[in-house]
Amino acid sequence: MARGRNRAIRIGVGILLMAGFVLIVWGVLTRYAGVWGVPYFSFTSDNGSPCVNKLTGFVCEPLTLADVQYYSDAELPPDTKVISGTYTATHDYLLRARLEVPKESAAKAMAALADEFGKCVPGHPVPMQTSELTKICVLANDDAVSQQKEPPSRLYVIGTGVRRDDGTRVIDMTIRSR
């Protein structure tokens, strides 16, 4: 009788140890799978944006200002507000962001954009609604493939303008790899 009870206790303890081991492994897997790149697990980027792995890359949405600056290489003012933003990385990448910069920093933001992306391109189609905007500018190199011998590694169209009612600079940014 005592022998049967000891065997039942050993079996019960063994089952509990196996279940504990499986739970620990499952906890580690779900905690780090996103960082390891396991498809459909999530992680947080180094700059704080939530991201999800896909079968062939990852998508971060919504983006923090730090990630928009990192992926665009533009040093925008710290009071810039990210309205929406998505970064998709596969074998190529695509950054789409909608930003607003308060009136006090609007000129500084335009200078940062011009420093990184060049001058306004006259006559280029504007990639956003402009009915409430003044000082509209489009910075683009999406025609660079046909105009240069060595095309750039990324193509961009940055539309910006100042909102009439409050002076806020609105920025619509699309940057993709070639």
Mean pLDDT of 85-92: 93
Tokens of 154: 């990324």
pLDDT band at residue 59 using 50, 70 and 90 as cut-offs: very high
- Alpha carbons 154 and 151: distance in angstroms, whole number: 8
The pLDDT value given to residue 149: 65
For 106, the 3-state DSSP assignment is helix
Answer whether 139's CB lies under 8 Å from 158's CB: yes
**Range with the largest mean pLDDT of 22-31, 121-130, 156-165:** 156-165
pTM: 0.80
The region, left, alpha or beta by phi > 0 then psi within -120 to 50, assigned to residue 69 is alpha
The pLDDT value given to residue 131: 87
Whether the pLDDT of residue 53 is over 70: the answer is yes
Query: Which residue stretches of 83-177 are H helix?
Result: 106-117, 144-147
The pLDDT value given to residue 2: 65
Whether the pLDDT of residue 145 is over 70: the answer is no
50 bridge partner residues: 44
